[in-house]
Amino acid sequence: MALQAGIVGLPNVGKSTLFNAVSNSAKAEASNYRFCTIEPNVGLVDVPDERISKLEELVKPNRTVPTVIEFVDIAGLVKGASKGDGLGNKFLGNIREVDAIVHVIRCFEDENILRDEGDINPVSDKEIIDTELQLKDLESVEKKIARTEKMAKTGGDPKAKAEFEVLKRCKEHLEKGKNIRELGLAKEEETAIADLFLLTSKPVLYVANVDEASLHTGNKYSKALEEAVKAERAEVIVMNNSIEAQISELEDPADKELFFSEYGLTEPGLHRLIRSAYKLLDLITYFTAGVQEVRAWTIHKGWKAPQAASVIHTDFEKGFIKAEVIAYDDYVKYGSEAGARDNGRLRIEGKEYVVNDGDVMHFRFNV
């Protein structure tokens, strides 16, 4: 399962530059004018994980396949997008399809980069996007209320009545200028709005795009943004998107090492971004390891063995018998599957086993 993250923000905040930094399969045009991006650019990037490199070193497989994250570069939103301004309906529809939102916010001054919103104000910029998403969600919620209200009030359909109550709470919340993800709906309540794919229900990460001088410490703009999103319990990742784009162009490891040294970096900001996205969505990784292939697989935290097997093939879940499991640390400690087995560290687990992050697994199934 590939996580899909949509990169959003106002025009000219560095979205396409970030996309170019993270994507290894496509390049977006980054230009200094509004609506440079109209059709969403989509690119895949390998998820950085030192564990798969270590397994590759031990197993020496014919090929190694990391898990990937899919980034979608969505055009810059503007005031009035919820009413269709600036091709807003199309762009908001693109956001509806992603799993998580990466909201890029400009936290630097540069008179050479166009800005329609006046002085640099990351909090105001965030609120502009929030308002447009909230207005679009309010439209969706009100339409569903109109469909369910009659059934709910006649009292003949308990499900409709429960749905109606949840929808009313959502409407009131949105009318206060708040995002649905802050409402704290229970799992069973979320089913009432699941079919709406509400924009403000999606988890969000904020990228504070700062100038080079603020790369390590942040600045007054990024700190104002951090303060503004405290109530959301959302993470703010401080990056310089231009530097990230330069890093992505370097192929020689020695050149990258020199670049990191020059800027005082230990890794690309992209790595932090991806790790944060996985944490945000409660995702973990398990591995399969053999001579033919070492591969990383992404699943949701809490999934049981048959569910985990389904990401390889649906037949694996249908015909699941058992799973052979070695904890990653044990695999590395004993150097191989055989070494772990000889030392009693290979376990046989059944259908109720909850997969742990880093498990090295082999599934037995019958179709």
Q: Specify binding-site residues for ATP.
A: 12-17
Residue with tokens 């009035």: 80
> With contact defined as beta carbons under 8 Å apart, do 28 and 121 qualify?
no
DSSP 226-271: HHHTGGGT--EEEE-HHHHHHHHH--SHHHHHHHHHHHT-SS-HHH
Q: In sequence order, which ranges of 102-190 are alpha helices (DSSP H)?
A: 122-154, 158-175, 187-190
In the sheet that holds 236-239, the strands lie side by side as 41-46, 68-73, 3-8, 100-107, 204-210, 236-239
Annotated binding site: 12-17
Query: Token pair of 107, please?
Result: 């936290």
Taking the C-alpha atoms of residue 184 and residue 268, their distance in angstroms, rounded to an integer, is 34
**Of 94, 113, 78, 102, nearest in space to 208 by CA:** 102
Taking the C-alpha atoms of residue 141 and residue 174, their distance in angstroms, rounded to an integer, is 9
Exposed, middle or buried, 367 (CB in 10 Å: 0-12/13-18/19+)?
exposed
Taking the C-alpha atoms of residue 60 and residue 148, their distance in angstroms, rounded to an integer, is 59
**Of 319, 306, 315, 314, nearest in space to 361 by CA:** 306
